[in-house]
Amino acid sequence: MTGNKQAEENQQGVMLSRIFFVLLMIACLSSFISSPVALILGFFFAHFFGHPFQQYNSKAVKWTLKIAVVGLGFGMNLNETMAAGKDGFALTVFSIVLTLTLGFFIGYLLKINRKTSHLISSGTAICGGSAIAAVAPAIDASDKDMAVSLGVVFFLNSIALISFPYIGIQLELSQHDFGLWSAIAIHDTSSVVGAASVYGEEALQVATTVKLARALWIIPVTIFSLLIFRGKGKGVKIPWFILLFIVAILVNSYLDFPPILSTSIQYSSKSILILTLFLIGAGLSVEKIKAAGWKPMILGISLWVIISVTSLTAILYLQ
């Protein structure tokens, strides 16, 4: 009888764990939980209560990532972003090439997992979490690779959101220069918008347009990543989700697509991306974090400082 009672209590515990896990997944699909919080929440839930759907986690992450990336394409207008991006085009190309190149060499010197260092470099080079979400499936990155990379990017985003407006004021940057600088040197679009909105209306407008144009570089960088990480003797196949991402941008740009539908898809995609981060966090463990060590953070900080200083110098003295 005691054994049956114990088994029944264990079954009830598993059932409660599943219910709360599903409720948290639903909460992530709402607008009440931010990306960093979702990642941390998933980690702590799995750490203290276990992952009730561990066997499905990896496959779920891969599918939700791809769906989210495709949906984000409906929030981009090719003509508008390319026109707006002319202002910082040369600086954008230079900063992306520099970041990816430095990321490779610094990651090699620090002996960081190649996929982790490439994800951190891609996130720093383009648009943070969105770039990592697009590149990760193309290079077949593990949950650990994504979690470490996202953690580094989110941490640096938080610092940038607070520090950039203060630095801009101390250096007496113009609205235009600050907007351009924040679009180049801050990872995620949300943090760019947050920092620029504090600085001023013109800064916000410049930062938003340049950052959106910069996001288009997800496509060539993802294809480039696929080429350099393909296995020996394997052909190159463009991932279907990248092709659909391009189709989504073209549909939103050239067809009479209802704005309300475009906005709804974009909002849903961002929610799915937050859910993905929760699942990535849930698939992580203390052992995996310890194994990653401080080297990825050193890489992220190094790239961020270099690109911030270099881009600011170019804006102030080479324009």
Q: Are 182 and 192 in contact (CB under 8 A)?
A: yes
- Look up the domain containing 153 and give its range: 2-317
When divided into structural domains, the chain yields a total of 1
Task: Give the pLDDT band of residue 230 (cuts 50, 70, 90).
Answer: confident
pLDDT of residue 290: 67
The number of C-alpha atoms within 13 Å of 317 and in the hemisphere containing its C-beta is 6
177, two tokens: 């220069």
How many angstroms separate the CA atoms of 30 and 149, rounded?
24
pLDDT digits (tens, 9 = 90+) for 101-147: 999 999 999 999 899 999 999 989 887 877 888 888 888 888 788 88
Q: What is the mean pLDDT of residues 199-226?
A: 82
Burial of 257 (0-12, 13-18, 19+ CB in 10 A): middle
Helix axes 218-229, 114-125, angle to 10 degrees: 170
Q: Is 141 helix (H, G, I), strand (E, B) or coil?
A: coil
Q: Under the phi-then-psi rule, with left for phi > 0, alpha for psi from -120 to 50, and beta for the rest, what region is 173?
A: beta
Q: Residue 151's pLDDT is what?
A: 81
Pick from 46, 42, 47, 52: nearest CA to 17: 52
What integer best gives the mean pLDDT of the chain?
A: 81
Q: Is pLDDT above 90 for 158?
A: no
pLDDT in tens, 25-84: 999 888 778 777 887 888 889 888 888 888 888 788 778 877 887 887 787 777 766 665
Percentage of the residues of the chain whose pLDDT score is greater than 70:
88
